[in-house]
Amino acid sequence: MHLSYRGIRYQSQANQLPLLDNNQKGNYRGISYNMHHVKDTTSQQCFQLKYRGVNYKSCIG
């Protein structure tokens, strides 16, 4: 996916999260919606990022 921030274009590698199969529905102010629950993931994702010219590593999970 091609994205841009403040005129700088970059490529994104967005991953889909694994969802549990459920049929829960909700209702908010008269509008129905489906509730999705994410499967428990134990793997840790690390990203090499750059902010104002400084490289750093961010780990999620």
- Our count of domains for the chain comes to 1
Give the residue, 18 or 3, on which the prediction is more confident. 3
Give residue 31's pLDDT: 85
**In this structure, is residue 61 part of a structural domain?**
no
**In this structure, is residue 36 part of a structural domain?**
yes
| Cα dihedral across residues 33, 19, 47, 60: positive or negative | positive
**In this structure, is residue 8 part of a structural domain?**
yes
Q: At residue 58, what is the residue type?
A: S
Q: At residue 11, what is the residue type?
A: Q
| Cα dihedral across residues 30, 17, 21, 41: positive or negative | negative
- Per-residue pLDDT of 7-56, as tens digits, reads 888 887 766 666 666 677 778 888 888 777 666 666 677 888 898 989 99
Give residue 34's pLDDT: 78
Q: At residue 3, what is the residue type?
A: L
Give residue 61's pLDDT: 62
What domain range is 11 assigned to? 4-55
Give residue 4's pLDDT: 83
**In this structure, is residue 47 part of a structural domain?**
yes
Tell me if 41 sits within 8 A of 61, measured CB to CB. yes
